[in-house]
Amino acid sequence: MSKIIGAVEIGTSKAKALIGEVAENGSLNVVGMASRPNEGMRKGEIVDFRKAAAAVHSALEDAEKMSGTTVDEVYLAQTGSHLKGHMLRGSASVASSDNRVDVADLQRAAEEAKRRKPDDGRTYVHHVRTPILLDGRIVQDPVGMFGSKVDLGYWSIDGDDQAIKQALHVISNYSLEVKDLILSSIASSTMMAGPDLRRAGTLVIDMGAGVTDFALYRQGFVACTGVIPVGGDHVTGDLSMGLRVLEPYAEKLKIEHGKAISDPMDEGEDVWIIGNKTIGDRSIPRKAITDVIHVRIAELFEILSKELEGLLDPDELKGGILLTGGASLLPGVEQIASKILGFTARRASFPTGIDSELAQPENATVLGLLHYGLEDHGLPGRKKEEVEAGFLGKFRKMVGLGAQS
Amino acid sequence: MSQDNLFPQETNFSPENEIPGIRAKIIGIGGAGLSLVDGLRFDNFQSVEHLAVDVDSRALSDSIAGEKLAFGRRHTRGMGTGGEHTLARKAMEEEKDVIRKKLEGVDLVFLLAGLGGGTGGGAAPVIARLAREAGALVFAFTPLPFSWEKSRHSMAEECLADLRKFANAVVPLPNDSLLQMGGADATALECFAEAGRNVSKGISAICSLVFRRGMIDVDFVHLRKAFNRRAGRTLFGYGEGDGEDAIRQAVRELLLCPMLHLPDVSKAADALLILITGGTGMGMAALQQVSSEIREEFKAGEHIVFGAHVDENMGNRVQITVLGATDLEAGIPTADVAPTAKEVIAVLPKSKVAHTSKLAKEKKGSKLKTVPAAPRNKKKDDLDQNTFEFMEAENQRGIFGDLPSRNIYAGEDLDVPAYLRRGVKISI
């Protein structure tokens, strides 16, 4: 029997809902997809609950209609500058007398790692496991191997209680359950960077409307993630102020004529703001548009480079830098990223087999949610279901959603 | 031939018909303030006095202001404060009585002070307070340091918040944005000079409103009623046009004025002062249309002061100055101020149905939809609510201005356009 799963991303410019059908052989088929402009959100955080909820609900409704089915639980993407990542580590000595590693040893190490409670008013959003070390060596699955000590780490992201609760309530208001919270950057990297790239080491930068999410992978595991509260909306805002045009015109100029690096061909060329040359329409040099965008985008990558200081090692980043998200469509961003971060950056492409209508950079996160949800992220030797129930049960208790479970 | 024609000046009102009884004082404080005062050129207002205040006696002796006051000699021995605004504040508090004396009988005070330095930042709030206590209406024009001058900048913001507690309207002039003034090849100095000229024209326009008789006349009482309360955010802009279509050109230039497009500047005004000065050929119909367009642009509330002056020396030129304020301090019942608006509207019959261009309508519609002026609407719904706290903490940061928290990274507010913070000049 096939299984229906859903994914929701409450994005700053659009709320997106996706419904997928998992066939018995494990292959995923997207059967419903809808997106709605979201006016209830700024810079990745909900500022108007009702508007955000309305956008999400109508996106879900449309996606359900399109698929002809209903979903009971969804994966929900989380972003926002309130999220902070930490590396948590735990270790355990191998208990059995024959020095064979047992699942219980791994569990003890995991418990120790997760023992640290987040600060008051904060909740863990996502624990991403990093490599398991058996006596200092990286191993994929130590169960059954000989050794004396296992170490494992979690890149753990915690966030503001209120912000997370709000996002969860948007979904629970639609009588849906959140199966799991997934960090937006991890969701989009799952989609855009295949296992080979993740093993080679790669940095995925998802440039959204409100925020820019990034995730750095080393040896196939997450080494660092982060959120920078600057996105495409900032470019629009800068244009609106710098060119002294209203925001909708600034948005239009950005989409139609926006470039992040100057083009000698544009020298001396002007574009019209409204385009119909009515009274009040005025022409603007292309160079002015490019200048405004360039400064903002360059600054964004400078901040990224500061955030990742010391983490970008040529030997560990053979996969280069991948750019995705709606704002990555601006021509020239990859050149600026390469120049400032010092590694080749390119626009990420979707793996083959994704419908061309869906394969847009702005859909990377929501598509990634489904794919991440399908993958097994538990500890080796444990069944997937068990792990998830455990994590979510604990999470529900933390955020006060215990009633349903 | 009159003397005025021999020496054309920015404002060429003849001194004879000046309205007596009201006194205005322009006070420059500290280095930046002094140079702004010295840059002002309107000696033909008899009732406007210039006062230069500084701790640095050498800088003071170079100033050409009519009155000078050195303070803080005990603390600095006649030298600068070296950026210590607490020192300047302390020294100024000690000279309270001297300042009070200087402010006696003054109805209108213009404070010009750079807030990045010690003297301006420390002394300006004190003088503003004393002036308010003395019953004067206080307008402040304050240059702010570049945002990359991090410590100076944060100090200036503190002083700005302080000054806003006392002044009726504070017009911040951030160096970041002043770089956007002038033509494409303008040097930094030329940009600052241009900004200084605009401030000077603005002050002179307000003075002419108060001291001269005009075609559509409003006087000091109107001004006082409109700006009686302490304001949070302000807007200030200036535009000039020449030739056949001068008035339209002036509106266009006004709406493009870089000083109206700063992150700190309010996009709507609860109190709005519109001043139009033009030659004898200025038509009434055009005036009405322009005023209603400007009022729509700034979504002006009920406190509007609209003045039009005819100056035969202007020829075909038209100058428009706007000064607006939002988040007015609550506390004074609206009824007290209402007559002003009524009177003004009475002067402009049918202004509500006056023809507006298609663009203006489009602009208004789309603007209302996409730029939520949330704090302002809230204010209107709930007029009695004391808005004091948020007017201190919150700044208009372009399209992110309605968000409660700032987006600080390494001391910089990322919601403020990057090109402003990085000093990149955008020529349009």
Mean pLDDT of A368-374: 88
Q: Cα distance from B358 to chain A (closest Cα, Å)?
A: 7
Q: Cα distance from A246 to chain B (closest Cα, Å)?
A: 7
Q: How many CB atoms lie within 10 A of CB A317?
A: 22
Chain B CA closest to residue A269: B428
Which pLDDT does position B122 carry in this prediction? 86
Asked if the C-beta of A241 comes within 8 angstroms of chain B's C-beta atoms, the answer is yes
Of A241, A279, A306, the CB nearest to B398: A241
Q: Which ranges constitute the DSSP H helices of A315-378?
A: 333-341, 364-374
Q: Do A43 and B419 touch (CB under 8 A)?
A: no
Q: Where in chain A is the domain with CATH 3.30.420.40?
A: 192-350
Which pLDDT does position B414 carry in this prediction? 86
CATH number of A84-159: 3.30.1490.110
- Going by C-alpha positions, the residue among A180, A129, A96, A186 that lies closest to residue A382 is A129
Top residue of A45, A227, A244 to mutate, by most chain B CBs within 10 Å, is A244
DSSP B328: P
Sort A347 into a burial class: Cβ within 10 Å, 0-12 / 13-18 / 19+.
Answer: middle
Q: Do A241 and B409 touch (CB under 8 A)?
A: no
Mean pLDDT of A338-345: 94
Asked if the C-beta of A48 comes within 8 angstroms of chain B's C-beta atoms, the answer is no
Strands B271-278 and B318-325: antiparallel
Q: Which contiguous run of DSSP H or E holds residue A35?
A: strand A28-37
Of A244, A246, A295, the CB nearest to B256: A244
Q: Tell me the C-alpha distance between B119 and A95, whole Å.
A: 72
B395 in Cβ contact with A271 (< 8 Å)? no
- Within 143-182 of A, beta carbons closer than 8 Å to B belong to none
Q: Cα distance from A201 to chain B (closest Cα, Å)?
A: 27
Report, at the CATH architecture level, how domain A192-350 is classified.
2-Layer Sandwich (3.30)
- Token pair belonging to A32: 């419903």
Core vs surface per residue A244-280: b (16+ CB within 10 A) or e: bbbbbbbbbbbeebbbbbbeeebeeeeeebbeeeeee
Least confident of A68-82, A245-259, A376-390, B395-409: A376-390
Of A43, A244, A278, the CB nearest to B359: A278
Residue A34 pLDDT exceeds 90 = yes
Asked if the C-beta of A243 comes within 8 angstroms of chain B's C-beta atoms, the answer is yes
A161 in Cβ contact with A123 (< 8 Å)? yes
Phi, psi values for residue B389, rounded to 5°: -65, -50
Asked if the C-beta of A296 comes within 8 angstroms of chain B's C-beta atoms, the answer is yes
Sort B166 into a burial class: Cβ within 10 Å, 0-12 / 13-18 / 19+.
Answer: buried
Mean pLDDT of A226-241: 92
Which pLDDT does position A118 carry in this prediction? 85
B99 in Cβ contact with B127 (< 8 Å)? yes
Which pLDDT does position A14 carry in this prediction? 92
**What is the tens place of the pLDDT at every residue in B252-269?**
888 888 777 776 666 677
Which pLDDT does position B6 carry in this prediction? 42
Q: Cα distance from A188 to chain B (closest Cα, Å)?
A: 24
Least confident of A83-87, A191-195, B126-130, B251-255: B251-255
Of A43, A228, A247, the CB nearest to B370: A247
Q: Tell me the C-alpha distance between A49 and A65, whole Å.
A: 24
Core vs surface per residue A122-136: b (16+ CB within 10 A) or e: bbbbbbbbbbbbbee
Strands B137-144 and B169-174: parallel
Q: Tell me the C-alpha distance between A225 and A187, whole Å.
A: 11
Tell me how many degrees the CA angle B101-B102-B108 measures, rounded to the nearest 5: 120
Q: Which contiguous run of DSSP H or E holds residue B138?
A: strand B137-144
At a CB cut-off of 8 Å and minimum separation 6, what does B158 contact? B121
Of A42, A291, A299, the CB nearest to B400: A42
Top residue of B262, B369, B402, B426 to mutate, by most chain A CBs within 10 Å, is B426
Q: Tell me the C-alpha distance between A11 and B213, whole Å.
A: 57
Q: Tell me the C-alpha distance between A170 and A11, whole Å.
A: 13
Of A247, A248, A292, the CB nearest to B419: A292
Q: For chain A, how many residues are written?
A: 405
Q: Do B424 and A291 touch (CB under 8 A)?
A: yes
Asked if the C-beta of A295 comes within 8 angstroms of chain B's C-beta atoms, the answer is yes
* Residue spans of chain B under pLDDT 50: 1-16, 330-396
**What is the tens place of the pLDDT at every residue in B72-96?**
777 777 666 767 778 888 888 888 8
Residue A354 pLDDT exceeds 70 = yes
A382 compared with A168, residue with greater pLDDT: A168
Asked if the C-beta of A89 comes within 8 angstroms of chain B's C-beta atoms, the answer is no
Phi, psi values for residue B306, rounded to 5°: -120, 125
Q: Do A291 and B422 touch (CB under 8 A)?
A: no
- Token pair belonging to B97: 């009585």
Residue A128 pLDDT exceeds 80 = yes
- Going by C-alpha positions, the residue among B328, B327, B257 that lies closest to residue B294 is B257
Q: Tell me the C-alpha distance between B134 and B291, whole Å.
A: 34
Which pLDDT does position A245 carry in this prediction? 84
Q: Cα distance from A262 to chain B (closest Cα, Å)?
A: 13
List domains and CATH numbers for chain B.
19-167 (3.40.50.1440), 229-386 (3.30.1330.20)
Asked if the C-beta of A230 comes within 8 angstroms of chain B's C-beta atoms, the answer is yes
Of B357, B366, B407, the CB nearest to A246: B366
DSSP A378: S
**3-class state of residue A305 by DSSP:** helix
At a CB cut-off of 8 Å and minimum separation 6, what does B246 contact? B278, B316, B317, B318
Chain A residues within an 8 Å CB radius of B357 = 279-280
- Token pair belonging to A347: 């626009």
Which pLDDT does position A339 carry in this prediction? 94
A81 in Cβ contact with A229 (< 8 Å)? yes
A37 in Cβ contact with A82 (< 8 Å)? no
Strand partners, B25: B49, B109
Residue A6 pLDDT exceeds 60 = yes
Q: Tell me the C-alpha distance between B208 and B410, whole Å.
A: 45
Q: Where in chain A is the domain with CATH 3.30.1490.110?
A: 84-159
Q: Do A244 and B261 touch (CB under 8 A)?
A: yes
**3-class state of residue A34 by DSSP:** strand
Q: What is the DSSP string of A80-122?
A: STT-EEEEEEEEEE--STT-B--HHHHHHHHHHHTTSPPPTTE
Residue A182 pLDDT exceeds 80 = yes
Strand partners, A4: A21
Place of tokens 């500047």: B265
At a CB cut-off of 8 Å and minimum separation 6, what does B321 contact? B201, B202, B205, B206, B237, B238, B273, B274, B275
